[in-house]
Structure 1
């Protein structure tokens, strides 16, 4: 069904994205792959919040697990209850992914925390942060990147790449969670048969179908023949005792086609025999002068002779002969 398939697809897709977010946030906590900056507190504030670890990582993984496992429930009530739970999980995962995306965008715009050589000397600050709302963003002016930070090394490129990956991945997670929320709501409204193309027959319909197939087999016994190659199977072993009509339909069709061909052969043979018998009969009924007399005329003369024998006086027989 569409709802369960979409739930499984969304759940499977969210798992690698969650690991990507966790990896990106973990690397943001280790500028230049050194832990001393984290221990000294010289890491960007948005990276220390760890939204990629607990929001787009842990919470989204829990939601993805619920999407995959909960889509296999059977039954109308159990299915709707599970879809209702998935709506709640989707909303939580959506909020977590959206929050991570917002935090990542903020960290990307404000720039990294680094050791900057200002007019007062070296200080840990955010030199690339826009001071006013109308100031240009450093992302569009790469000439400011090399001279902005003294330490950690290449921290600007580090933050730009990782925050961009984290923002894009969490944004895609939010879109998928929003789509799954709509999907789960449709599952609650329409039930498990929503967008289900396969037709299920009831037990009563299956019983009637099996009875009809048995009656059909009993009314069409196998045709005896001296040519076994025309009869690879008979009505008794069609389908191997199965009750599903669809499973033996191709073999039954092949058998019927061969049976029809055999019946056509029998019809042609019967016509030939009838023609031969008619010719022999006409030969026997030929008169002395070589002309054939119709069969109806012969029966008419026979009937007239019988009446004459019954109606006339004894000893008087109508002068009638067959020839």
Structure 2
């Protein structure tokens, strides 16, 4: 596959992943899609904005750069080709890999520590904490603990697990794709695009 076509494909994959990370993080700010618990009863990992900043905004830039690197070069075909855009894509992809890694670390930590929830029985004064943080065994596979320990918000454990898992998986893919794009763009800088002049009908940008 030509470096330009590969770059464009990677960019088109990174862009929706970035938007999905942003969406997942926004949902985490509002448990059960409610504003009742925001901002006082949200975990620190949610406020670290791993999905919005790391897996989202940090990846949008390399995604756009990769799509543009797959188009015509800044001087057109037959001159510098797409080498200039490929060079920019190298640096932006390194930037994106850093953001994806940040999101991955935040998401993994959040899954390990568990959500912030009210553990007080009904009728008693609310007691908010992270009840799974210091447990010897993982709570992830023990669904009985999810409702017996966390009384409020309803289904908060499942809410956190699903959304942080989405962010974790997407950020891992973002790191891999950005790494591939770094190598692909370096090859494009050194060797140029293998597409011939006049074969730019699928380049778009």
Q: Please give the range of the TM-score, normalised by the shorter of the 2 chains.
A: 0.7 to 0.9
Distance 1:55-1:199 versus aligned 2 partners, 3 A rule = closer
SS at match of 1:43: coil
Query: Normalized against structure 1, the TM-score is what?
Result: 0.56
What pairs with 1:132-281 in structure 2 (closer than 5 Å)?
135-193=136-194
Match status 1:61 vs 2:34: no
Query: Given that residues 63 and 89 in structure 1 are in contact (C-alpha distance below 8 angstroms), is that contact kept between their aligned partners in structure 2?
Result: yes
Match of 2:130 in 1: 126
Q: Report how many residues are paired.
A: 192
Secondary structure of the residue aligned to 1:137 is: coil
* Residues 180-210 of structure 1: per-residue CA shift (max 9 Å, x gap): 11101111222234xx5x699xxxxxxxxxx
CA contact (8 A) 1:108 1:160 kept: yes
Considering Cα pairs closer than 8 Å and 6+ residues apart, tell me whether 1 or 2 has the greater RCO.
Answer: 2
CA-CA distance at 1:173 after TM superposition: 1.2
Question: Separation in 2 of the partners of 1:76 and 1:38?
Answer: 55
CA shift, 1:169, in A, is 1.1
Q: Deviations over 1:103-135 (max 9, x none)?
A: 1011011100011128x964110001135xxx2
TM-score, structure 2 normalization: 0.86
- CA distances 1:13-62 after superposition (whole Å, capped 9, x unpaired): 111111111111111000121113113x2101111111111221122112
Gapped regions of structure 1 (runs ≥ 5)? 201-323
Moved over 4 A (4+): none
Question: CA RMSD, aligned part only?
Answer: 2.2
Is the CA contact (8 Å cut-off) linking 1:6 and 1:183 kept in structure 2?
A: yes
- Which secondary structure state, in structure 1, belongs to the residue aligned with residue 118 of structure 2? strand
Measure, in 2, the Cα distance between the counterparts of 1:10 and 1:190.
Answer: 19
- 2:17 corresponds to which residue? 17
Partners of 1:146 and 1:94 in 2: CA distance: 37
Query: Could you tell me how far apart the structure 2 residues matched to 1:70 and 1:4 are?
Result: 6
Quick one: structure 1 residues 183 and 76, their matched pair in 2 at CA, closer, same or farther if it must change by over 3 Å? Answer: farther
Aligned 8 A contact 1:76 1:192 in 2: no
Q: For residues 165 and 126 of structure 1, what CA distance do their matches in structure 2 show?
A: 21
In structure 2, relative to structure 1, the CA distance for the partners of 1:23 and 1:199 (3 Å cut) is closer
**1:136-187 deviations in Å (ceiling 9; x for gaps):** 1111222211111111111011101111111111111111111111101111
Q: Report the CA distance shift for 1:82/1:18 in structure 2 as closer, same or farther (over 3 A).
A: same
Pair 1:94 & 2:97 matched = yes
Structure 2: 5+ residue runs without aligned partners? 199-205
Residues 77, 140 of structure 1: alpha-carbon distance in 2 compared, 3 angstrom cutoff: same
